[in-house]
């Protein structure tokens, strides 16, 4: 990606990389707010938005009823990533052909891509209790620092409900997302 180097840094310090995974179905203002806070509070050089192909904890739950296709989710995540030079949309998980997306695989790939980086995994605080259930948790917690953030009033479920009901989504999603998803007047 032009303007977004993929490894190292010129400042002499190890790059600080945030990984923000999720379904992003669709990405909303809550996600954007957490991303901005994480970049500032953790002094991140870059925050990677990593849309999941299949969330292992939501597979088979019907969570994505009325949801967006992988291509739509990817497009919207890219649009939001373009809002800040420190953001990047990374397709590592969503480009998988099948199977669940596991954080350990993403972290290992980030370590390979950003040699020597300090990795921070940004999650919703409601996921903290389930962390010990994550695949290869013991290895994962050594390889990155988990940083929980509180959930916001915005939710992807509410955005999808509003879309299905033909209700406005302004105030729930960034304008670049609303421009794509909002029904034409």
Which domains, and CATH codes, for the chain? Answer: 16-181 (3.40.50.620)
User: What is the Rg, in whole angstroms, of the alpha carbon atoms belonging to the chain?
Assistant: 16
Cα 140 to Cα 119, 131, 144, 158: the distances in Å are: 11, 10, 6, 31
- pLDDT tens, per residue, the chain with 185 residues: 333 333 444 557 899 999 999 999 999 999 999 999 999 999 999 999 999 998 776 655 444 445 899 999 999 999 999 999 999 999 999 998 777 889 999 999 999 999 999 999 999 999 999 999 999 999 999 999 999 999 988 999 999 999 999 999 999 999 999 999 987 66
Is the whole model's pTM more than 0.95, yes or no?
no
Give the largest CA-CA distance in the chain.
52
* Residue partners of 111: CB distance under 8 A and separation at least 6: 117, 119, 143
Nearest to 77 by CA among 102, 36, 48, 49: 49
């Amino acid at each position: 990606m032009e303007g977004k180097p993929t490894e190292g840094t010129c400042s002499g310090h190890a790059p600080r990389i945030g990984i923000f995974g999720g379904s992003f179905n669709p990405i909303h203002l809550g996600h954007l707010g957490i991303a901005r806070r994480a970049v500032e509070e953790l002094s991140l050089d870059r925050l990677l938005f990593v849309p999941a192909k299949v969330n292992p904890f939501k597979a088979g739950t019907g969570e994505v009823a009325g949801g967006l296709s992988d291509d739509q989710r990817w497009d919207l995540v890219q649009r939001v990533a373009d809002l800040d030079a420190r953001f990047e949309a990374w397709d590592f998980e969503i480009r998988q052909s099948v199977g669940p997306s596991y954080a350990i695989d993403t972290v290992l790939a980030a370590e390979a891509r950003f040699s020597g980086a300090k990795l921070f995994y940004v999650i919703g605080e409601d996921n903290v209790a389930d962390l010990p259930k994550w695949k290869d948790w013991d290895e994962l917690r050594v390889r990155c620092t988990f940083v929980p953030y509180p959930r916001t009033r915005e939710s992807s479920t509410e955005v999808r409900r509003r879309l299905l009901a033909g209700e406005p989504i302004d105030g729930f999603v960034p304008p670049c997302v609303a421009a794509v998803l909002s029904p034409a007047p």
